[in-house]
Amino acid sequence: MHQTWTARAAALLQGRLEEMLAACVLAVMVTIAFVNVITRYLIQLPLAFTEEITVNLFVWLVLLGTAAAFRDDAHLKVVFFVDRLPGPWRRWVIAFTHGVSLVVFLVILRLGWIQVADEIWLGMVTQSLGVPSWYFTLGMPVGALLVVVRILQALWRTLRPGPAAAAPAERSAVQEWTG
Amino acid sequence: MAGAAWLLLGSFFLLLLLRVPIAVALGASSFLTIWMYDLGFPVISYNFWAGIAKFPLLAIPFFILAGVIMEKAGMAERIVRFIRVLVGHWPGGLGLVAVVVGIFWGAVSGSGPATVAALGTVLIPGMARLGYDRKFATAVISATSELSIVIPPSIALIIYATLANQSVRTMFMAGVVPGLVVGAILAALTVFLSVQRGYGGEPRASQSEVLAALRDAVWALLAPVIILGGIYGGIFTPTESAAVAVFYALFVGLFVYRTLEPRHLFRYLADAVVATSVIMIVVTLAGIFSWTAASIGVVDRISQAILLLADAPWLLILVLNAFLLILGMLLDAISVYYIFLPIFLPVMAALDWHPVWFGVMMTVNLALGQITPPVAVNLYMGAYIAGIKLEELWSEVWRFAAATVVGLLLISYIPSMTLWLPGLLGMR
């Protein structure tokens, strides 16, 4: 049993775990927002507390999506200069960029975890729902942890010997939908 | 603390040029400065959270999702077909179709590359089949799609509104006329070039064909009416209107056009999630960057330096635009807002410049950045769809970039062009 469980977890980490979660989060958020419009107009019942849910779920969504974007190498970046470097150089520079990303998200992971611990210790509750606020804040360390895993995977792909690793990411700039 | 300023800006630009993701470069340079100058680490996690958890920003994932679903439901295709039977028979007709549809889709989508993706897959092969040069077709579509962030709804205007404390509704109203003006300039250039190169029109469609295309496209044509009408009419907030747009698109795709399959919905959601997160991670880390810049006092000093030019506002406007243009070549619009708006806001206040006008001017400028290399998101997307090299595209695109500069100058020196419509509706 234990083995199948780890195998399954490994398969999820190879696959699209965070996208599945985040897609569900987005579906919930947009449905809540839509239902809120309807209840406000049809039964004159604005559901104010829903804003707290959607806004906080948004943070979960962004970190899960950030992890997915690291896996797909979809983050917005200036590829112009580095992609003109010779292969081995490019590989080391890209490995370096993963290192920088790793540090940034480890900092967010650590600080997010401290904030969760503080909120548990202080017994903080949210303003309109009155639930423990760390339920929401937990998204920060958990999401950052997933991001860290994806960065480590990307780093491994870059450093692994073989010609494929040195190829510039063709898709990287393409998936940017940035406004 | 000049040293802190050099550390922050220097490390940011160095990392940026080294291919570090923009969001990470913003975060790393801020964290480094906060650490070296002991500005207080705990503020990071609070700011990180607060940078995302804002109600107006929820409109971003919802508009992106609505755009994805509308595209997959075949709405873009139907609008293309309809505009084609209307004006396709004119000389250079299909080029004009591309610009008009680009403007129209701008009223549905809030993101440039998303518009290139939605329209390019339909229009580039269509134009190539009629003898248009592939590069030219791609250039027209990539250039027109810059208007998506000027014409509401627009992700860029939402971000500007939250940062400059303006209402999203007012910004959405202010973007209309400048968007149409730049659109008209691009349309004129496209028709002129098409005629010059002898790209003819198509055979004229019969009246029954026009009616059939209209009947087919009417649900798609209603989408911007619902989105923008709802916002302007005060029926929905922009965020709500985006949520309504998602369900409208689902309804049309599942029950009217029957082009969507429920089992693909998960894919659309996932696409929207990634597209949203790529933007939002920049938003929140740029927020921390701008907090850091403010804490070390660099912001005030740059504002003061800019105000040295206050005696010649026309020159200042020119210098600011040139500066933004160069930045827009390297950075995305959102990072530029976060990094530079804190500097510009006191300048605007001191010179009594209207923040709504300034926001639209800045957005048009940064829209231009979407088609100017090396970082040109619309060109990347266009080149990818058309299967051509980015470098080849520039030989065609530069004319459209120059035409956009003409529009930008008009907007910069005639503020009433921007402020007239919101003023008419009492929104100033």
pLDDT digits over B90-106, tens only? 888 899 999 999 999 99
Q: B205 or A176: which carries more pLDDT confidence?
A: B205
- Per-residue confidence at A162, pLDDT binned at 50, 70, 90? low
Provide mean pLDDT across the span B285-313: 90
Q: How far is B62 from chain A (nearest CA, A)?
A: 7
Q: Is the peptide bond before B374 cis (omega within 30 degrees of 0)?
A: yes
Alpha-carbon span B19 to B365, nearest angstrom: 24
| pLDDT value of residue B427 | 72
Of B22, B159, B236, the CB nearest to A76: B22
Tell whether A48 lies on the interface with B, counting CB pairs under 8 A: no
For residue A163, name the pLDDT band (cuts at 50, 70, 90). Answer: low
Contacts of B42 in chain A (CB under 8 A): 111, 114-115
**Over chain A, what is the mean pLDDT?**
84
Banded model confidence at residue A165, pLDDT cuts 50, 70, 90: very low
Mean pLDDT of B118-146: 93
CB contact under 8 A, A178 and B52: no
Q: What is the pLDDT of residues A130-148, one digit of tens each?
A: 889 999 999 999 999 999 9
Alpha helices in B259-373 (DSSP H): 265-295, 298-306, 313-330, 333-351, 355-369
Q: Once rounded to an integer, what is the mean pLDDT over residues B291-302?
A: 88
**Predicted local distance difference test score (pLDDT) of residue A78:** 87
Using CB atoms, which residue from B48, B246, B377 is nearest to A140? Answer: B48
Predicted local distance difference test score (pLDDT) of residue A127 = 83
Tell me what the mean pLDDT of segment B416-422 comes to.
94
* Single-letter amino acid code for the residue at B117: A
When CB atoms are compared, the residue of B276, B333, B334 closest to A61 is B276
Interface-testing mutation among B116, B237, B278, B384, with chain A (most A C-beta atoms within 10 A) = B278
pLDDT at B170 over 90: yes
Quote the pLDDT of residue A4.
Answer: 72
pLDDT at B428: 58
pLDDT for A172: 39
How far is the alpha carbon of B227 from chain A, nearest alpha carbon, in Å?
13
pLDDT in tens, A24-76: 999 999 999 999 888 888 777 667 788 889 999 999 999 999 999 999 898 98
Residue A7 has pLDDT above 80, yes or no: no
- For residue B156, the chain A residues in CB contact (below 8 A) are 179
Q: Is the CB of residue B97 less than 8 Å from the CB of residue B107?
A: no
pLDDT 10s digits, B244-283: 999 999 999 999 999 999 999 999 999 999 999 999 999 9
**Structure ipTM:** 0.90
**Is residue B63 pLDDT above 90, yes or no?**
yes
A135 touches chain B (CB under 8 A): no
**Cα–Cα separations (whole angstroms), residue B366 to B323, B327, B379:** 11, 8, 14
| Residue A125 CB partners (closer than 8 Å, separation 6+) | A131, A132, A133
Percentage above 90 pLDDT, chain B? 78
pLDDT tens-digit map of A53-63 = 999 999 999 99
Residue tagged 């199948």 (tokens): A4
Residue of A nearest to B145 (CA): A179
Q: Do B332 and A178 touch (CB under 8 A)?
A: yes
pLDDT band at A128 (very low <50, low <70, confident <90, very high): confident
